[in-house]
A and B are shown apart, each in its own frame.
Chain A
């Protein structure tokens, strides 16, 4: 047990007979701090009818249902624990938690319990439940998912059944099957293909229509044309009881294409959840102090109800609910996700605070200056939206080729029909159909998506989640790789990089002593010291936190300070020894340890570079890419990291708008830019770059903008992913070349009437199959590579 909070949580779990949690969990809770139950009084606000309006539904006279997001869920055991615990509360009619989305639905009886009691029960076992507006994006996402799954099912089941009718016809020898049975099979196939073409394939037809209205030829046009031609020819053949049918090819083609699109959508929804992004960044509630400074009593209000001039109390560990300035108290704020600054920034009375940043050390009173849409965070979100609209549309090679090809094909088909009409009108129709079928752009339109889907699957297995399928293709064409620093190339947290003992104690003892003084600190320095010390033993007394300076405590009767060297020397009045000068001259953070008799040690801290970063940079440089470090952090720190990794170009102290402008400027020069970042300040530039890659542990807002999410947080996988993308592009080119050659050879044969319609059908399926098999090589190559 690390603290009273954990103890309370463990007691609540064991007393309720839920000890099974400890046996079955396979991941530890997110962090010890999250496990401290929140003050129960704060939950009272959830019982107000006006507040409940947005997320509570009335099911009956007394029954209510609420939608909640639950934070802190790490594994299946957590879900089991929460469900059992909440369902065991009196008055709770039901509770369901979705494993994938972490959304919970709770139903209860208003006569027997209140919502705040349910939330308190969730808090008692160490999780945090937020209400969220279920009405919009989640419901929309679910509807989209269900519709897509339904289309896929119709296509898949239709495919299986149509195959059942088609295979006997293929296998039957001459005279095995009477004409009327074959006709019966055709009619059965027709009946089952109709829903596949008119329902499952509807998005392709709609897309094609939209493209045509905009006078461009997109990927949907050849697909729609292929499906339409083959289906129309088959229907004609069935009605006339002559010629060949291609119902099996049509349904199979639709099923493969929809399957790829469905997988892509699921990956995107898993990585991106805008509601979650907004719910997590800005705290939903604020503690307003209405009668400041006379009266310090607080009232809980929703952050959106704050207005400029309100005074708000922000406790350590909470986020600032708006932009403002500090009135009373001093602390430091972690703004890493918003500005890229890796160290907490000191906040004294008069300092500006940014909404969405985290209060680290002690409670402060803040006067609200800009709220809601006026905050800097909202401005970043707007910048991001604009950038997403401006994102340069990369015209895909396949689209261009297919577009030209389709036009040519249609002209040729018309010409063939006209010419044969004069030569032999009885054969004109079937030869025209053969031309259209044999040159069906199926292989051409499968060439790109199949390869991209398979490459996406291979990448997902090594922790790179591709959320937009174009990303793989674009990644392979990248000329510039731009990296954020804090949290991307570096760990995003401090580590002890060096120790210089100055007094009677050795290095290890000094670290242990400093860790004791900092035992309760949430400051990155304190965290780093505790991590370096391992176990913190022994009690200290009279701990005083001086924000901006350091920590002071009484250890075995001596005053000990850990903090800024100048401030530590005030304790004993001795100047720093000369041996320490060199230690101080670096660019990194240096913290001193001293007691009332003199100096004890100096510690150097740095935000350590991810160990695999150098390898990835090396691998990207081998590919001849231009690498840039683009960060909001200070220039010396940025230069140090760049030098260490061998990145030539550095842009430091960049605001989100600067970053956006820099990438836009690169793009004007013809560069294809891949941006790798993690923070909110990276969101606009991620939206702007042709390919954006976000770290899995970064800000949700950054992830919503990413084409690829690096879930494993292992940069080496990014390097491997890049090479896989290049291989994928090669396979796509092979596929396109093959499809093109096939068509060029088959077209003249069909034009001169050498290809019977059934031969055309085999050619069409065969060329598509070859494309699929060639793409499957990407999967095999990946495994060998590992």
Chain B
């Protein structure tokens, strides 16, 4: 059970790292538009193929 004395503080430190990661993703605007990217990824592929076959 002594391992808990290492693991519990470690989990606290880890939480702060996760917090920093979220803060960064929030700052870089990843939560500003939650719908658009989902649609965007669906449409891009066909476009490239079409252009190539057209030329």
In the complex, are the beta carbons of A100 and B35 less than 8 A apart? yes
Residues of A within 8 A of B36 (CB): 76, 79, 97-100
> Distance in Å from the Cβ of A231 to the closest Cβ of chain B?
18
In the complex, are the beta carbons of A20 and B50 less than 8 A apart? yes
Other-chain contact of B39, A18, A99, A185 (Cβ < 8 Å)? A99
Other-chain contact of A77, B26, B27, B33, B43 (Cβ < 8 Å)? B43
Other-chain contact of A84, B18, B27, B33, B47 (Cβ < 8 Å)? B47
Distance, CA A184 to CA B3, complexed state (A) = 12
Residues of A within 8 A of B19 (CB): 153-154, 157
Distance, CA A150 to CA B23, complexed state (A) = 7
Residues of A within 8 A of B5 (CB): 181, 184
Chain B: interface residue count, which band? 20 to 34
Which residues of B4-50 are within 8 A (CB) of A? 4-5, 8-9, 11-12, 15, 18-19, 22-23, 26-27, 31-36, 39-40, 42-43, 46-47, 50
Other-chain contact of A20, B27, B34, B39, B43 (Cβ < 8 Å)? B43
A188 at the A/B interface (Cβ < 8 Å)? Answer: yes
Distance, CA A157 to CA B50, complexed state (A) = 45
Main secondary structure of the interface of B (DSSP, over half): helix
Residues of A within 8 A of B26 (CB): 146, 149-150, 153
In the complex, are the beta carbons of A181 and B1 less than 8 A apart? yes
Q: Encode contact with B along A73-104: 1 for CB under 8 Å, 0 otherwise.
A: 00011011001100000000000011111000
In the complex, are the beta carbons of A20 and B47 less than 8 A apart? yes
In the complex, are the beta carbons of B54 and A17 less than 8 A apart? yes
Residues of B within 8 A of A178 (CB): 1
Main secondary structure of the interface of A (DSSP, over half): helix
Distance, CA A440 to CA B12, complexed state (A) = 28
A647 at the A/B interface (Cβ < 8 Å)? Answer: no
Which residues of A182-207 are within 8 A (CB) of B? 184-185, 188, 191-192
Residues of A within 8 A of B27 (CB): 146
A779 at the A/B interface (Cβ < 8 Å)? Answer: no
Distance, CA A672 to CA B22, complexed state (A) = 45
Q: Encode contact with B along A146-170: 1 for CB under 8 Å, 0 otherwise.
A: 1001100110011001001100000
> Distance in Å from the Cβ of A191 to the closest Cβ of chain B?
5
Residues of B within 8 A of A192 (CB): 12, 15
Residues of B within 8 A of A154 (CB): 19
Residues of B within 8 A of A382 (CB): none
In the complex, are the beta carbons of B31 and A146 less than 8 A apart? yes
Distance, CA A146 to CA B35, complexed state (A) = 17
In the complex, are the beta carbons of A80 and B40 less than 8 A apart? yes
Q: Encode contact with B along A1-44: 1 for CB under 8 Å, 0 otherwise.
A: 00000000000000001111000100000000000000000000
Which of A19, A80, A101, A145 has the largest number of chain B CB atoms within 10 A?
A80
Given A99-B33, A157-B18, are A20 and B11 neighbors across the interface (CB < 8 Å)?
no
Distance, CA A157 to CA B11, complexed state (A) = 12
Distance, CA A192 to CA B51, complexed state (A) = 54
Residues of B within 8 A of A83 (CB): 40
Distance, CA A150 to CA B24, complexed state (A) = 11
In the complex, are the beta carbons of B8 and A165 less than 8 A apart? yes
> Distance in Å from the Cβ of B17 to the closest Cβ of chain A?
11
Task: Tell me the nearest residue of chain A to B2, going by C-beta.
Answer: A181
In the complex, are the beta carbons of A184 and B15 less than 8 A apart? no
Distance, CA A460 to CA B26, complexed state (A) = 26
Distance, CA A84 to CA B34, complexed state (A) = 20
A504 at the A/B interface (Cβ < 8 Å)? Answer: no
Distance, CA A80 to CA B41, complexed state (A) = 10
In the complex, are the beta carbons of A24 and B15 less than 8 A apart? no
Distance, CA A80 to CA B23, complexed state (A) = 29
A142 at the A/B interface (Cβ < 8 Å)? Answer: yes
In the complex, are the beta carbons of A153 and B22 less than 8 A apart? yes
In the complex, are the beta carbons of B39 and A157 less than 8 A apart? no
Distance, CA A157 to CA B14, complexed state (A) = 11
In the complex, are the beta carbons of B43 and A80 less than 8 A apart? yes
> Distance in Å from the Cβ of B3 to the closest Cβ of chain A?
11
Residues of A within 8 A of B12 (CB): 161, 188, 191-192
Residues of B within 8 A of A79 (CB): 36, 39-40
Residues of A within 8 A of B43 (CB): 20, 24, 76-77, 80
Which of B4, B15, B34, B42 has the largest number of chain A CB atoms within 10 A?
B15
Given A98-B33, A99-B36, are A157 and B15 neighbors across the interface (CB < 8 Å)?
yes
Distance, CA A185 to CA B8, complexed state (A) = 7
Distance, CA A20 to CA B47, complexed state (A) = 7
Task: Tell me the nearest residue of chain B to A19, going by C-beta.
Answer: B50
Residues of B within 8 A of A157 (CB): 15, 18-19, 22
Task: Tell me the nearest residue of chain B to A81, going by C-beta.
Answer: B43
Task: Tell me the nearest residue of chain B to A99, going by C-beta.
Answer: B36
In the complex, are the beta carbons of A17 and B50 less than 8 A apart? yes
In the complex, are the beta carbons of B50 and A164 less than 8 A apart? no
In the complex, are the beta carbons of B31 and A149 less than 8 A apart? yes
Which of A97, A99, A181 has the largest number of chain B CB atoms within 10 A?
A99
Distance, CA A706 to CA B9, complexed state (A) = 49
Distance, CA A185 to CA B1, complexed state (A) = 13
Task: Tell me the nearest residue of chain B to A195, going by C-beta.
Answer: B19
Distance, CA A83 to CA B39, complexed state (A) = 13
Task: Tell me the nearest residue of chain B to A160, going by C-beta.
Answer: B15
Distance, CA A165 to CA B7, complexed state (A) = 11
Q: Encode contact with B along A35-71: 1 for CB under 8 Å, 0 otherwise.
A: 0000000000000000000000000000000000000
Residues of A within 8 A of B50 (CB): 17, 19-20
Task: Tell me the nearest residue of chain B to A180, going by C-beta.
Answer: B5
Distance, CA A326 to CA B5, complexed state (A) = 84
Task: Tell me the nearest residue of chain B to A156, going by C-beta.
Answer: B22
Distance, CA A191 to CA B10, complexed state (A) = 12
> Distance in Å from the Cβ of B8 to the closest Cβ of chain A?
5
In the complex, are the beta carbons of B8 and A184 less than 8 A apart? yes
In the complex, are the beta carbons of A98 and B32 less than 8 A apart? yes
Distance, CA A142 to CA B26, complexed state (A) = 11
Distance, CA A83 to CA B44, complexed state (A) = 11
Distance, CA A178 to CA B50, complexed state (A) = 68
> Distance in Å from the Cβ of B31 to the closest Cβ of chain A?
6
Task: Tell me the nearest residue of chain A to B39, going by C-beta.
Answer: A76
> Distance in Å from the Cβ of A753 to the closest Cβ of chain B?
34
Distance, CA A149 to CA B34, complexed state (A) = 13
Residues of A within 8 A of B40 (CB): 76, 79-80, 83
Residues of A within 8 A of B18 (CB): 157
Residues of A within 8 A of B51 (CB): 17
Distance, CA A233 to CA B28, complexed state (A) = 39
Residues of A within 8 A of B35 (CB): 76, 99-100
Other-chain contact of A100, B22, B33, B54 (Cβ < 8 Å)? B33
Distance, CA A396 to CA B11, complexed state (A) = 43
Distance, CA A20 to CA B49, complexed state (A) = 11
Residues of A within 8 A of B42 (CB): 24
> Distance in Å from the Cβ of A456 to the closest Cβ of chain B?
19
> Distance in Å from the Cβ of A151 to the closest Cβ of chain B?
11
> Distance in Å from the Cβ of A399 to the closest Cβ of chain B?
32
Distance, CA A184 to CA B7, complexed state (A) = 11
> Distance in Å from the Cβ of B39 to the closest Cβ of chain A?
3
Given A17-B51, A192-B15, 18 additional A-B pairs, CB 8 A: A17-B47, A17-B54, A24-B42, A76-B43, A79-B39, A97-B36, A98-B32, A100-B33, A100-B35, A146-B31, A149-B26, A150-B22, A157-B22, A164-B11, A181-B5, A184-B5, A188-B11, A188-B12
9 intermolecular pairs with C-beta atoms under 8 Å apart: A20-B43, A77-B43, A97-B36, A98-B33, A99-B39, A142-B32, A145-B32, A153-B22, A161-B15
Closest 6 CB pairs of A and B: A99-B36, A76-B39, A99-B35, A98-B33, A80-B43, A188-B8
